[in-house]
Amino acid sequence: MIRISRPALEGCVSHILEALGIPREEADDSARILTAADARGIPSHGVAHLARYISGIQAGLIKGGVTPSVVRETPLSRVLDAGGGMGMSISRKAMEWVIETARKHGAGVCSIRNSNHFGIAGFYSEMAARRDMLGIALTNTAALGVPTFARTPMFGTNPIAFAAPACGGRLFSLDMATTTVTRGAIEILEREGGEIPSGWAAGADGRPITDPARLLDDMLYLRGGGLLPLGGEGAASGGYKGYGLAVMVDILTALLSGGTFGAEVRDSAVTSARVCHFFMALRIDLFRDPSGFKQDMGRMLDALSGLPPAEGRERVYYAGLKGREAEERSNREGVPLAEDVWENIKASALSLGVAVPPVQSRPEPPGGETPASP
């Protein structure tokens, strides 16, 4: 792993997207959200995705400068058709609309169809939480998840994000896939030469699979097999619960917007699938004074993190705490990236005439040897 200054990494990614014809605001939004994933310790959703963006833009499957069309609208809600535009920028603007609507009316909801990858769901739910609201963000994804007792995918990783504010600027921020892991986690295993642990995925026969390259290839070319729902294989450990949550996300994102769902949501060899999103903000003062709510939230988070840890464990976390601490370190020391991810970004930048920022820090090599100059 190496570390790159966060502003420098955001700037590099944004300039790469601009060089491909993406408008500045959309490029900046995309770079900020991709970098935020790596900064929080979620490399499966970070700048490693840039390669797919480049391929998708060059193939005309991801478009810049698109103004989403309003399909249906009420004072509290909107349905948008994103027209294949930049999912992260469109989602950021949609969440701003939802928050402003909630500020005026108490609640706001937006469902979007025909969009692209929107990064980490928690980025959007936290936008609402930082304004004394409850925030929810969902998206469906390409069909990678295998229903309980099945052998072929029928739903995506379909993440759910929920955020609530607490005193002292803290947030409870749940951001979870409804599959046991994401495809990005399998891609990391492939890059690192690892095996898929038991309970993560099923092969084309519906039985456990350990080879990440084989699984990724089978999922891409629809040969069967995929990720298991949250809870793992079968019903004994609650796999049917993750399965049900994944279908719930498809209902709220795709069926409400009239978009694509289930096995019809497919990736191509060069880009991610056209997907659907759902955003909601709810003003806390509909129920009680926000300051009292945040004080109670603070007490709850303190109680959770103050629990005695299990034997062999150092501490107890609540949702969002690890990410916040990782982000604070990234802001001080630079954003951590795998060397191969950084090399790919450098190659893309150089091919497009974009300046490459320096590495902020590298891990010390074994034996205290001085690393070679980059």
List, for residues 186-195, the tens digit of each pLDDT value. 988 998 899 9
How distant, in Å, are the alpha carbons of 185, 245, 360 from that of 147? 19, 11, 44
Give the per-residue pLDDT at 227. Answer: 95
Kindly state the tokens that stand for 40. 């929080």
Domains detected in the chain: 1-58+334-367 (1.10.1530.10), 66-180+228-326 (3.30.1370.60)
Prediction pTM value? 0.92
Asked if 173 and 320 count as a contact pair (C-beta separation under 8 A), the reply is yes
pLDDT confidence of residue 3: 97
Q: Distance between CA atoms of 84 and 61, rounded to whole angstroms?
A: 7
Q: Provide the pLDDT for residue 367.
A: 52
What's the confidence (pLDDT) of residue 373?
Answer: 33
User: pLDDT tens per residue, the chain (374 residues)?
Assistant: 899 999 999 999 999 999 999 999 999 999 999 999 999 999 989 999 999 999 999 999 999 999 999 999 999 999 999 999 999 999 999 999 999 999 999 999 999 999 999 999 999 999 999 999 999 999 999 999 999 999 899 999 999 999 999 999 999 999 999 999 988 789 889 988 999 998 999 998 888 899 999 999 888 888 889 999 999 988 888 999 999 999 999 999 999 999 999 999 988 767 778 999 999 999 999 999 999 999 999 999 999 999 999 999 999 999 999 999 999 999 999 999 999 999 999 999 999 999 999 998 876 555 544 333 33
Contacts by residues 57-60 (CB-CB < 8 Å, ≥ 24 positions apart)? 57/17, 57/20, 57/21, 57/22, 58/20, 58/270, 59/270, 59/271
Contact 254, 140 (CB under 8 A): yes
